[in-house]
Amino acid sequence: MKLEVVVLPVADVDRAKNFYQELGWREDADFATGEDFRVVQLTPPGSACSIIFGTGITSAAPGSAQGLHLVVTDIEAARAELAGRGVEISETFHDAGGVFHHAETQGRVPGPDPDRASYGSFASFSDPDGNGWFLQEVTTRLPGR
């Protein structure tokens, strides 16, 4: 099985579409079958998984999707690219426990993982509705991945 699509709850479809396109994400679809149903699908560069949002596709509150992860091979370069595209993004951080980041901003230690361990460095940002994203640096995959 492969994860294909993540549904994002948004309040303003066009605003969300513009935001993700400004990130350089590819538009795969934008279909409407009336005033009460519209589906927009975009895919991050290099990803096999897409996001979908629109009108009439989820009852979740706008901005309620949290903890979404985008894997990158160079956290500083990816962070700089997003900042250059106008995204308000956190500084790079690693977790005080060294395993995985805590919820919210608890346990964040400034800077990348001191050993630059794969899976250990993060940065975070939100879309205009508050859906929360993390960049996670992965340079060497764990076995079986």
Compute the distance between CA of residue 81 and CA of residue 33 in angstroms, rounded to an integer: 36
**Tokens 């009460």 sit at which residue?**
36
Give the rounded distance of the alpha carbon of 90 from its chain centre: 13
Q: Which pTM was predicted?
A: 0.92
Determine the average pLDDT of the residues in 112-137: 95
Mean pLDDT of 58-78: 96
The answer to whether residue 113 sits within a structural domain is yes
The answer to the question of residue 17 being in a domain is yes
Q: What are phi and psi of 127, to 5 degrees?
A: -80, 175
Residues 20 and 48 reside in one and the same domain: yes
Q: How far is CA 85 from CA 4, 5, 17, 143, in A?
A: 26, 24, 15, 34
Single out the residue of 10, 134, 27 nearest to residue 82, CA to CA. 134
Whether 145 is covered by a domain: the verdict is: no
pLDDT of residue 83 exceeding 80: yes
Residue 142 has pLDDT above 80, yes or no: no
35, part of any domain = yes
Q: Domain with 83 in it: what CATH number?
A: 3.10.180.10
Domain hosting residue 91, numbered range: 68-137
pLDDT in tens, 20-65: 999 999 999 999 999 999 999 999 999 999 999 999 999 999 999 9
